[in-house]
Amino acid sequence: MKGGCGCSELALKTRKNETKVCGLWSLPDDVFVDCLAQLSRLDLVAIAMVSRRHQYVAASRKLWLMRYWRDSVDPYVYVFMHMYPDPSPRWFVLHPVQRRLKRVNLNLYPVTGSCFVTTDWGIYTIGGLINGKPTSEVRFFDCITHSVYRVKPMKMARSGASASLIEDGENKKKKIYVFGGCWDVADSSNWVEVYDFETGTWELLSVSTPKMPLKIKESMAMDDDKHVYAVDEDGEIFVFSTSESTFCAEGERETNPDDRNDWRLFDQTFFCRGIGGRILWRLPREFGWKEVKGLEELQQQHIIKLCFSVQRMAIFWEAQGPDQILELWYAEITLKMTRRLGNIEWSGAVLSDSSYTGLNLLFADSLYV
């Protein structure tokens, strides 16, 4: 009896110590989640190491939604990049405060030529080439848990396609629309494919179009989320309507389409990456590009990607550091929309490694996590 009481006392003391260490163990689930919702992502990573319960809650979408509405989330930039001589591209993440690009440890299948769609908490990687052949494979990269999941494959194998997250014309729910990428066997019945998040299925969409566009070079969902503005590799401009399932040529052409890359729509204005380190802008109904002023120092850089993060423009460029070490630089730019002026808020090297001989930045976008 005495020994048994001693064990009980020891167990009680141990449980009390565990409660002090873990801090949140004794709280009801709702209160527990409510407390975690006030923490930063770095704090949640540390909390997740305490126990399986902490790990499960820290990675839940319910907690992400609570943190999002409480403005506890931070903008992380995710990059899909091929660093040579690595055999395949990898995911990297850029912390908003530390500003260092870190590799995400994931086992990925080797694929190039994919298209990407960013959702609230993750990124879809769609199609591409595997062993030199187009694939119908689709993966979802969960940016909360840093996990990759298989998604139901498309009906058509596609590579070099274009994809947008837009509002469906019938039920006004967001769906993924994928255009082209199967142009060797393309016709109006298989050129567009749609993914329904609720059913987890793909459906081919028969479209009405007087002319099948060639391979789409750039595409953007417009502000109403019901139209896609697209430019093919010959510079011809098209607009896709979800409500009418039509892909119509606008009768206009984009001059020098190879010199206009990474198109983005921001505050009713198109931006793109031009040649010679220039950032260009134009209004959707105008066809003459103008240069964003105030960024002249970037004209000496080889800019390789443009995206937006926290209402700021973000750009990446490749450079040679000391002793010919390969570096990837990053800059955040605020825009004064009235005069289309840019101001560099921060710039610096976010990756530096002597083991790499070159890089190809395939995708970059920001998410709040």
| 266 class by beta-carbon count within 10 Å (0-12 exposed, 13-18 middle, 19+ buried) | middle
Pairwise CA distance, residues 239 & 164, whole Å: 13
pLDDT digits over 68-84, tens only?
777 778 889 999 999 99
Instruction: Determine the pLDDT at residue 339.
Output: 63
Exposure letters 320-356 (e unless 16+ CB within 10 A, then b): eeeeeebbbbbbbbebeeeebebeeeebeebbbeeeb
What confidence tier does 96 reach under pLDDT thresholds 50, 70, 90? confident
Instruction: Determine the pLDDT at residue 137.
Output: 95
Instruction: Determine the pLDDT at residue 305.
Output: 95
What is the number of other CB atoms lying within 10 angstroms of the CB of residue 118?
Answer: 17
pLDDT digits over 237-290, tens only?
988 888 888 888 877 888 888 899 999 998 889 999 999 889 999 998 888 899
**Residue of 304, 302, 315 lying closest to 347 (CA atoms):** 315
Instruction: Determine the pLDDT at residue 206.
Output: 85
What confidence tier does 169 reach under pLDDT thresholds 50, 70, 90? low
**DSSP alpha helix (H) spans, the chain:** 2-22, 29-36, 41-48, 52-58, 61-69
Pairwise CA distance, residues 119 & 124, whole Å: 8
Give the full edge-to-edge strand order of the sheet including 246-253.
216-221, 227-232, 236-241, 246-253
Given a contact cutoff of 8 angstroms between Cβ atoms, the answer to whether 330 and 99 are in contact is yes
Instruction: Determine the pLDDT at residue 27.
Output: 64
What confidence tier does 8 reach under pLDDT thresholds 50, 70, 90? very low
Percentage with pLDDT > 90 across the chain = 39
Least reliable range by pLDDT among 26-40, 72-86, 218-232: 26-40
SS3 for 203?
A: strand
Amino acid at 55: Q
Residue with more model confidence, 289 or 27 = 289
Q: Please, which residues have CB within 8 angstroms of residue 4's CB and are 6 or more apart in sequence?
A: none
Given a contact cutoff of 8 angstroms between Cβ atoms, the answer to whether 328 and 316 are in contact is yes
pTM of the model as a whole: 0.84
The per-type count for the chain, helices as H runs and strands as E runs, is: 5, 26
Least reliable range by pLDDT among 8-17, 134-143, 236-245, 321-330: 8-17
What confidence tier does 48 reach under pLDDT thresholds 50, 70, 90? low
Instruction: Determine the pLDDT at residue 15.
Output: 39
Q: Compute CA distances 26 → 9, 13, 207, 256, 271, whole Å.
A: 19, 15, 57, 64, 52
Q: Which domains are present in the chain?
A: 2-69 (no CATH), 74-106+259-369 (no CATH), 109-254 (2.120.10.80)
Pairwise CA distance, residues 232 & 245, whole Å: 18
